[in-house]
Every structure is written in structure tokens, then in C-alpha cells.
Amino acid sequence: MDKKQCNTSQDPEVRKGPWTMEEDLILINYIANHGEGVWNSLAKAAGLKRTGKSCRLRWLNYLRPDVRRGNITPEEQLLIMELHAKWGNRWSKIAKHLPGRTDNEIKNYWRTRIQKHIKQAENFQQQSNSEINDHQASTSQVSTMAEPMETYSSPCYQGMMLEPFSTQFPTNNPEQYSSCCTNDNNNYWSMEDIWSMQLLNGD
């Protein structure tokens, strides 16, 4: 199979990069009228100079009306950690258990937040291990389990992470997490804006 045929990104007609408001509206309108279909033909039929892949991604990760945007709640965070412990990097599988969240969002969240905290905790653990080992070495000859931690092991990160992690939320009041959700969408426009415009268009 020729991937270049499939991925028409070399075609000068194909747009890449951030979506414009106009493109979003076209896609929303088209799907509202015709439903999701074969993405490649949908892109053409809608008159979008995007690949089907790009349209699908945009729709699933951003434009769908049921996409929840904003901060991951502590409950969701817990769930993500549990499910990741169970399944590893199966983001789409994990996302299915978090209504309104996309695999991309969860993946980003994991990589930027949780992984960072795991590393910090590992360092902390290693430090305290070596301190303990130093202490033991100086006091006795008993052998220790001073092996470095693996990349991470699921059962232990759950216990070890939650305490230090929770203290790093911007606020101590969990209710504020959900209420501040709409404040971080300043990039372009809010989905509410787009959907209300879509409604104004009469579709």
C-alpha cells in the first residue's frame, strides 16, 4: 500500500496546522447535517482542504459536543492512574472510561503531569534509599535491596504518588477544579461560541 497516496500531505492543496474558526464551523455544520461518515470523502464533500484524518482528529478531540474541556479532576486523575496501572499506554481504552475525555488529552495529561511527578517521586525514593543504604552500610554489613526502581511499577506509584501530587494542584478546594474549566481556553474561542454560532446558522 502506498502511504503517500493515503496521506496527501504533499499535495499543496492540503492545509495543515491549526484549524481556523471557519474550518471548524464548516466541519460542525457538515457533520450536523450529514453525520460522521467516511472521513476522506467527508473532507472533500464539506469543501475542507484537510485530510480525512485531520478532520477526524479535530472532530474527536475538539469539536464533538460531548467533549469535556478543562482541568482533570482529582477523581479523574485517580482513575487514569488506576487504569494506566492496569493497561499501560492504552490511551483510547483508558479514555473510554472517562466520559468526555479524549485519548489525546489523557495522553498529554499523563506525559506532562503524572510522569513528571513519578520521576520526582522516583528521585525522592532513590535519594532516601541511598540515604538508608549509607546508613546501613555504616552500621552493618547487611545486604540491601538497593536496586534502582524500574521505569515505574504500577502498584507502588499509586501509593507513593498521590500524596505529593495532590499538594501541587493550584487550589486546595477540589470544587474549584471544575469551575475553572472554561478559563483556559483562551487560545482561539470557546466551544460554546462555536456551537452557538452553529445554531445561529440555522442548522
Partner DNA sequence: AAAGAAGCCAACCGCAAATAA
Partner DNA sequence: GTTATTTGCGGTTGGCTTCTT
- The residue range among 73-81, 84-92, 122-130, 194-202 that interacts with DNA, by the rule CB under 7 A, is 84-92
| Choice from 75, 131, 134, 184 touching DNA (CB under 7 A) | 184
Task: List all residues 6 or more positions away from 74 whose beta carbon is below 8 Å from its beta carbon.
Answer: 166, 169, 174, 177
Residues 134-173, mask of contacts with DNA (x by CB under 7 A): ----------------------------------------
- The residue range among 77-85, 139-147, 151-159, 179-187 that interacts with DNA, by the rule CB under 7 A, is 179-187
128 contributes a contact to DNA by CB under 7 A: no
Query: CB of 121 within 8 A of CB of 138?
Result: no
H-run or E-run covering 86 = helix 74-87
Cα dihedral 26/32/34/37 (nearest 10): 80
- The residue range among 108-116, 137-145, 146-154, 173-181 that interacts with DNA, by the rule CB under 7 A, is 108-116
Query: CB of 203 within 8 A of CB of 195?
Result: no
Closest CA to 64 of 32, 103, 106: 32
Q: By the criterion CB under 7 A, which residues form the site for DNA? A: 1-3, 5-7, 9, 15-19, 37-41, 50, 52-54, 56-58, 61-62, 69, 89-93, 103-105, 107-109, 111-113, 116, 184, 186-187
